[in-house]
Amino acid sequence: MKRKKIVAGNWKMNMTHDESINLIKELKEISSNYVDIKIAPSFTNLNKAVSLLGSSGIEVIAQNVHFEERGAFTGEISIEMLTSVGVNSVIIGHSERRKYFNENEFILSKKTKMAIDNSVNIIFCVGEELSEREKGDHFELIKNQIISGLFGLDIEQIKNVVVAYEPVWAIGTGKTAENYQIQEMHEYIRKLFNDKYGSDISQQIRILYGGSVKPKNAEEIFSLKDVDGGLIGGASLNFSDFNAIVQAANG
């Protein structure tokens, strides 16, 4: 089965309102029949991004969501707030949310359920730190993250999930993941889905790579058998870099 590639730009805590508008106007020039293109601006820029990109084919997604519908959670964003401005996909479990905001598997599984129950698609992030890889615990760690975060979903619900593998040890550290390490982990993740949901689901589910994808390495990474695109950080803040990565995904 040929799975359609995804290139998703995670803007993180970058881009003012005016900077976002300027970049979005450039991004509207990008088009592809072979790649699903997504961007995740800050919460303050979601509404404007949706209105600017409405007919472009580029989907606006959110970087995070709270696990409760509403209430006394100062500073948080609910699923209802996202869908009310036209956002229907969300990133859950990003390595930075896990590391800096102490989001554990219990919290992430609640966020997953909240999104799925409200018909919102998910990019669910998994990944290991350097210490965990050096100890040889990386496969077991990824397995536990996926089981606790996603395997409570039924076979229909899991179709609304994309997985993103982030080797945290290869992001901004000077270390790089070798292609065989990337493919090895993506293949392992796909087998987990095969064992749980069967071959049809495992061949449908798209698994993105989120380890410092850049124009110079994108084509090589995207050519790996079980890599279905990328969750792009810094390179998504620059039009020419992001466009080059999209074109690399075109194959």
- The answer to whether residue 211 scores a pLDDT higher than 90 is no
- The per-residue pLDDT for 174 is 64
Would you say residue 100 has pLDDT above 90?
yes
Confidence (pTM):
0.96
Instruction: Write the pLDDT tens digit of every residue in 44-88.
Output: 999 999 999 988 999 999 999 999 999 999 999 999 999 999 999
**Torsion on CA atoms 42, 47, 49, 55, rounded to nearest 10:** 150
pLDDT score of 38 more than 90: yes
pLDDT at 139 over 70: yes
pLDDT greater at residue 212 or residue 102: 102
Cα–Cα distance between 120 and 78 in angstroms, integer?
12
Catalytic residues: 94, 166
d(CA 155, CA 140): 23
| Domains in the chain, number | 1
CATH of the domain at 199: 3.20.20.70
Give the CA distances from residue 3 to residues 28, 90, 168, 202, 249, in Å, rounded to whole numbers and listed in that order.
24, 20, 25, 11, 12
CB–CB of 59/41 below 8 Å?
no
Per the prediction, the chain carries an average pLDDT of 95
Range of the domain at 117: 5-249
